[in-house]
Amino acid sequence: MLNCAETAAVLRNWDNILVLSHASPDGDTLGSACALMRGLLALGKRARFACADTIAPKYGYLFDGMPQEDFAPEHVMTVDVADLSLLGGLREQFEGRIELAVDHHGTHVPFAPQRWVEPHSAATTELVFLLLQELGVGPDRAIADCIYTGLTTDTGCFRYRSVTPRTHRIAAEVIEWGADAGEINRVMFESKSKAQVEAERIVLDGMEFFCGGKCAMVRVPRSVYETTGAADSDLDGVATLPRQIEGVVIGVTLKEKENGEVKASVRTNLPADSARLCARFGGGGHKGAAGCSFPGITMEKAAAQMTAACEDYLRELNLL
């Protein structure tokens, strides 16, 4: 396991670097990759990016004005990737070639010979910020936007328990560098299409409670997208809603994916631990937020398995 200075030393010796984000990319994995690439480019190195899935248009500004040169990479690294499986369609191509991983997941499964993993960091961009400082990269507005994006999206806008004084201090720094925090938050948290509002309404209308109101579950079948015209990512925000209801300890959102797979997003209040619950199904994440997949079974069956697991877990915690 490396520390920040050691990770910087590795990068200082590298050139022609490929940075990988996890599949279904979020603001933290993309913000980390783009901030890091911008820093490496500023140091005169060549860096490029790859991700298994397409980038949602709302993240486009992270890449703005960054030259996308094609080259055969000498070195491959990942940011915000907790496990090889999260590389999605890129796994096969890069398995065994990844030399360095920078991540903040407590559930990180080591896959790179060199890695800097800090589970107490609220976002991977927090680590990337420290790394860029170590590398001597100076204040830069575009880097600031990338760092801020990871901080705010991974913490629900500084809301979660994962936020530390350091998270706030880095936010202060990058706002000073010129990060457009207000606009980034508007785009990430306060911008919904009418289709999205309609889809959320349908989904929330069907919210189910069980375990005496300690668990709440919403289901997002494919039909919701067809009825409303909402896109898949339009319902990302729904996952946080079941947990918000008074008395709910475990909030579960089940989404039917295009390939038929059912994905669960779990959000918990203390003392429950989302990552521990999701681990029962081979998933992972953080204490307050985690996920897992149910490949090859119906929504109905996934819901039944998840319900049973919640009940069992609440009993384990002496909450039932």
Segment contacting Mn ion (CB under 5 A): 33-41, 47-55, 153-161, 249-257? 153-161
Q: Which of 3, 71, 139, 193 binds a copy of itself (CB under 8 A)?
A: 193
Q: Which of 10, 56, 134, 156 binds a copy of itself (CB under 8 A)?
A: 156
Residue 279 corresponds to which amino acid?
A
Answer with the entry of Mn ion, a copy of itself, none that 28 interacts with (C-beta below 5 to 8 A by kind). Answer: Mn ion
H/E run at residue 219: strand 215-220
What single DSSP character describes residue 75?
Answer: E
Q: Which residues pair with 290 in a beta bridge?
A: 266, 285
Answer with the entry of a copy of itself, Mn ion, none that 154 interacts with (C-beta below 5 to 8 A by kind). Answer: Mn ion
Is 85 one of the binding residues for a copy of itself (CB under 8 A)? no
Decide the pairing of beta strands 114-117 and 98-103: parallel
Please state the φ and ψ torsions of residue 270, each to the nearest 5 degrees.
-55, 145
Rounded CA separation 179/147 (Å) = 8
Q: Which is nearer to a copy of itself, 243 or 276 (CB)?
A: 243
Instruction: Tell me how far CA of residue 6 lies from CA of 60, 92, 193, 223, in angstroms.
Output: 31, 28, 45, 50
Query: For a copy of itself, what does the binding mask look like between residues 5 and 24, x meaning CB under 8 A?
Result: --------------------
Q: Which of 190, 226, 259, 318 binds a copy of itself (CB under 8 A)?
A: 190
Interacting positions 266-295 with a copy of itself (CB under 8 A): 269
CA triplet 41, 42, 48: central angle to 5 degrees? 10
Q: Say how many residues touch Mn ion, by CB under 5 A.
A: 4
Decide the pairing of beta strands 208-210 and 215-220: antiparallel
Interacting positions 38-97 with Mn ion (CB under 5 A): 80
Segment contacting a copy of itself (CB under 8 A): 43-51, 241-249, 292-300, 308-316? 241-249
User: For residues 28 and 123, is the Cβ–Cβ distance under 8 A?
Assistant: yes
Answer with the entry of Mn ion, a copy of itself, none that 97 interacts with (C-beta below 5 to 8 A by kind). Answer: none
Rounded CA separation 155/148 (Å) = 11
Q: Which residues bind a copy of itself (CB under 8 A)?
A: 152, 156-161, 163-169, 171-173, 175-176, 181-182, 185-186, 189-194, 197, 201, 204-205, 240, 243-246, 269
Q: Which residues bind Mn ion (CB under 5 A)?
A: 28, 80, 124, 154
